[in-house]
Amino acid sequence: MQSNVRSASPPHASLQSPDKRPRSISPEVALQAVTRSTAPKRRKKRKHTPPESGSSEDVISREVVGLLGSELVSRAEADGLDWESPFGFREEVELTVSSISSSGEGLALAPSSKRPWVVVVPFVLPGEVIRARVYRHARMYSFADLISIEVPNSELRDMDRVRCKYFGTCAGCQYQMLSYETQLGLKRNVVVNAYRNYCNIPESSIPVIQSTIPSPLQYGYRTKITPHFEPPPKKLQKEAPTPSEEEKPYWLKIGFNQIGKRVVMDIEECPIATPVLNEAYEPMRDDIAKKIYGYKKGVSLLLRDSLEIPGGNSPVATTELAVQDHHVCITDHKATVRERVGDLLFDYQAGSFFQNNNSVLVPLTSYVRDAIFPSTAASASSTLPPTHLVDAYCGAGLFALTLAPHFTQIAGIELSADSIRFATHNAALNGLAHKVSFRAGDAAQIFSAVADFPPACTALVVDPPRKGCDEAFIRQLLGFRAQTVVYVSCNVHTQARDVGQIVSWSADEVAEGKGKYVLESLRGFDLFPQTAHVESVAVLRLVL
């Protein structure tokens, strides 16, 4: 496997011209200079800001502590060595990989000749003996490029599975050399470790985490990609050659970042993207190459897979659903994208959020439906099934509309006016405006938008951004006290933190005559095969 070679900075040249003589100074000034230079220097201690809870930096830091042991880390901190890497810049080292992190990178203990430390290396598997080159340091761990795999894990690694010629260099995928069954197992482990490290409730309160739900498509599933490129070098912006002289400049790279670098690599095709995106991407690259000298800034492109909308690419008040599913590529951030989920159509602005794997949306929404209406006696609550649904962070209305047939009244809550506009349009588009409404919520009093809903007969779906829910939202959630809460998350670590707060804080309020929430089930969903990413669905039930 090829390594990512990093160039070391050149030595600094002397700033003093050789034909200039040094300036003469008095003996008193010379003595002061000698005194200052020989006096012991106080080393300034760098201030390190702790990473945000649930961020990628925080996640890997906790996994490093788990591998080294908290006592050893505390000892290093007390000795002032927790930020002092035993490795030099670009030092090469042979390592044995211990485990895989939640981000899909290998974690390896430093050799016994070094102080206890962890090295993070991409594209490696547990048990493999590797050579790596260290390039950056953090608290108790360093990042390194993979140079070679000396002893591969032959049980797991099969390079014949890899479908992308950029795999091992592009930062997009981590798991193409693994069987899909192995990928799903690793993603279940991510959920397990997230709840172990972030939930802060007794282990007995966490149910057995079920196997990860697979994606129907493992390649060709991604409905959105955002390749990017840099502008011409400044020296060429003034004297740009004509297109006939140079059709595609050697320096032009259009694609995605290299692993561990902020450097764009040229990528002609992405095998996890849908076919319509790859078909549109090739001529787009050619067009950029012809016009590249007209760009003064770097550009992040947008390609979204969309159904063709009759009458143009704008939201229209139509209830015509029997349209031909002809796919097109949308590249304008402000244009409208249309997707079909089951029998429903969803329009949304291309630059806004919508799940990027359409093939898994029916299994996901069906799972949420079945969690709210369990078919067995496994539910911790003996109350009647809910009749009302609140979809918080509703976006274009995915859960509100797909679950609408099972409730008498549904409300989606959003802070974004554009999202409310599209969600309302989607309710009309699918003939559901009579029972589904979308309401703008105030961040300080978000549940006041559904004050008319009876909490004891209400189910709540929460699907927040990666940072999760803030304390104010959780306090409002507990004040509303919906019968069932289904928490869908793209960041299982912030989900685990928030679920722990919901469970523990509700238990603290039992004395006030309020019911408490129990975590009934927990399961991952694979929305991004070939990558380390996993979605998670947690179901909480109110027990009186």
Whether residues 63 and 190 fall in one domain = no
pLDDT bin (cut points 50, 70, 90) of residue 444 is confident
Task: Quote the CA–CA distance of 142 and 70 in Å, as a whole number.
Answer: 18
Cα distances from 228 to residues 261, 270, 525, in angstroms, run 14, 13, 28
Of 278, 295, 312, the residue at which a domain comes to its end is 295
Residue 90: give its domain's CATH number.
2.40.50.140
H or E element at residue 475: helix 471-480
- Active-site entry in 199, 329, 394, 490: 490
Q: Find out whether 477 and 460 touch, Cβ atoms under 8 Å.
A: yes
The answer to whether residue 424 scores a pLDDT higher than 80 is yes
- Considering the domain architecture, whether residues 210 and 260 belong to the same structural domain is answered as no
Is 458 found in the same domain as 387? yes
**Could you tell me where the DSSP H helices lie in 70-126?**
70-78
Measured CA distances, 124 to 68, 106, 261, 429 (Å) = 19, 5, 18, 48
The mean pLDDT of 404-433, rounded to a whole number, is: 95
**pTM for this entry:** 0.87
**What is d(CA 130, CA 144) in angstroms, rounded to the nearest whole number?**
11
- Laid out side by side, the sheet with 303-307 consists of 224-225, 303-307, 327-330
Residues 385 and 526 grouped into a single domain: yes
Q: Are residues 210 and 239 in the same domain?
A: no
Boundary residue ending a domain (249, 264, 295): 295
Instruction: Indicate whether 277 and 408 sit together in one domain.
Output: no
* Residue 231 pLDDT exceeds 90: yes
Please count the structural domains in the chain. Answer: 3
Residue 483 maps to which CATH number? 3.40.50.150
- Confirm whether 134 is domain-assigned: yes
Residue 160 has pLDDT above 90, yes or no: yes
Shared-domain flag, residues 112 and 133: yes
Is the pLDDT at 303 greater than 80? The verdict is: yes
Does residue 316 surpass a pLDDT of 70? no
Look up 173 and say whether it is catalytic. no
Q: Which amino acid is at 321?
A: L
Res. 234 pLDDT band, cuts 50 70 90:
confident
- CA dist 521 to 371, 473, 537, Å? 8, 22, 8
Give yes or no: residues 143 and 198 share one domain: no
* 291 shares its domain with 419: no
Contact 277, 331 (CB under 8 A): no
- Cα separation, 237 vs 240, in Å, equals 6
Q: Let me know if residue 82 belongs to a domain.
A: yes
Least confident of 350-359, 369-378, 474-483: 369-378
Secondary structure (3-state) at 306:
strand
pLDDT band at 322, cuts 50/70/90? very low
Q: Within this chain, do residues 66 and 97 fall inside the same structural domain, yes or no?
A: yes
Per-residue pLDDT at 248: 83
Q: Give residue-wise pLDDT tens across range 37-69.
A: 444 444 455 678 889 999 999 999 999 999 999
Known binding positions for S-adenosyl-L-methionine: 355, 393, 414, 463
Q: Are residues 409 and 440 in the same domain?
A: yes
390 plus 496 within the same structural domain: yes
Relative to beta strand 303-307, strand 327-330 is antiparallel
- In a domain? residue 262: yes
71 part of a folded domain: yes
Residue 348, in any domain of the structure: no
User: Residue 110 has which token pair?
Assistant: 């430093």
Most confident of 308-322, 383-397, 523-537: 523-537
Q: Report the C-alpha gap between 504 and 510 in whole angstroms.
A: 10
Residue 248: give the domain boundaries. Answer: 227-295
Is residue 412 within 8 Å of 400, Cβ to Cβ?
yes
76 or 17, which is more confident: 76
Is position 1 within any domain?
Answer: no
